[in-house]
Amino acid sequence: MTEENGQFQGDNAPRKQQRKIPRVEQAAILLMSLGEADAAEVLKHMGPKEVQRVGMAMAQMRDVSKDDVTFVIDQFVDAVGGQTGLGVGNDDYIRAMLTQALGDDKAASLIDRILVGGNTTGLDTLKWMEPRAVGDIIRYEHPQIQAIVISYLDPDQAAEILATLDEKVRLDVMMRVAFLESIQPQALQELNDILEKQFSGGSAAQTSRIGGVKRAADIMNFMDRGIEGNLMDSIKDMDPDLASTIEDLMFVFDNLKEVDDRGIQALLREVSSEVLVVALKGSDEAVKDKIFKNMSKRAAELLQDDLEAKGPVKVSEVESAQKDIISVARRMAEAGEISLGGAGEEMM
C-alpha cells in the first residue's frame, strides 16, 4: 500500500483522484453499506435533525460508485481504528465515530446528549417533530409560552416553526424572544412536565437561561428571506434600537467578504465544492472575488468553470446552500477557529 494525496492506494493500478464527498453523504453511504438491521441500530442513537439529514441523503443517492464506498469505509476504519470500545476511552471513540460520520457541526449536540446519558423527553421531544406539527401544538398557547418553546429549540427549526404562525403572532413572539433573558427553573420544569404528559419521558430539562437578542438574531438567520425582511421591518417600526441590535448580530452569506483570508481558507476546507457552487450562484461579486482569491489558481479556475457550467438554480436551493456554509462558519467562530468580523462577530 502507498499513500498518495492523503489517501491510501493499492499496489497495482492507482485509483483516480477521489472526489470530495460531503460528510452527510459519507454517513449515508456508510449506513447503506451496513445493511438494514445494523443501520437501524445506528439511527436509534441519532438526533432528529441528524436522522432527517442522513435519511434525505440516502433517499437522493443514485449510482454510488465502488470507489466512493471503498473510500468512505476506509476513512471510517482509519478514524476509529486507534480507538477502543472496551471501556477505555469510550467517550473518545464515540466522538471520533460520530464526528467522522456526521461532521463537527451536526455531531456536537448528538455527542453531548449521548455522553450525558439523557433521554429525549418533554421539550426535547419537540425537536423530533416536523415544524408544522410543533406550530400546531403551540399555536393557541400564550405568546410567552410560544417564545420559551421557540427559544429552546435550535434556530433553524425555530425559524421554520415561526413561518407557520400568523404574521402578527410571529412578530409578538420574536419580540418576546429578544427580551427573554432567563426563566425560573420551576416554570421551565412545569412546561416540561406538561409536555412529558403528552409525549411521556423521564428527566426534566435543566436549562434556565434561554432567549435574548442573540437568539433572535440566530433564528432570523435561518428564516426565508421574504419572511425575515417583513419581520425585521415590523420590529423596526416597534423598536428601531432592537432591530439595529439584531441586525448587528446577524451573519449573512454576503458578510463572508469581511472574514479575513486565513478564515476563508479554513472555511473552504470544511465546505464541499458542490455546496459552494450552488451558494455562489446567488452571491455578489465581492464574495466570489473573496473566495477565488483564497484558492489556488487551478482550484479557482475549476470553480469558475463549474459556476459557468451550472444551469439555473432555484432560489430555495441557493439559500439552503448558503445557510449550510453560514452554519459551518458560526460553528468555527464559536470554536475560536475563525473570526467572522463585522456583523455577527459580537458575542460569537
Domains of the chain: 2-116 (no CATH), 123-249 (1.10.220.30), 253-334 (1.10.220.30)
H or E element at residue 250 = none
Q: What is the pTM of this model?
A: 0.46
State pLDDT tens for residues 196-220. 665 554 433 344 456 788 888 888 8
| DSSP assignment string, 244-280 | HHHHHH---GGGGGGS-HHHHHHHHTTS-HHHHHHHH
Count of beta carbons in the 10 Å neighbourhood of residue 133: 12
Q: What is the mean pLDDT of residues 327-346?
A: 69
Q: Does pLDDT of 142 surpass 70?
A: yes
pLDDT digits (tens, 9 = 90+) for 7-41: 434 444 444 556 678 888 888 888 888 777 777 77
Q: In this structure, are residues 264 and 203 in contact, taking their beta carbons and an 8 Å threshold?
A: no
What is the percentage of the chain residues whose pLDDT exceeds 70? 75
Dig out the grid coordinates for 271 from the structure. 465546505
Between 44-53, 96-105, 111-120, 303-312, the lowest mean confidence (pLDDT) is in 111-120
**For residue range 262-288, what is the model confidence (pLDDT) as tens digits?**
989 999 988 888 889 999 987 888 889
- Reported as a pLDDT band with limits 50, 70 and 90, residue 348 is very low
Longest dimension (CA), the chain: 70
Greatest mean pLDDT among 3-12, 98-107, 127-136 lies in 127-136
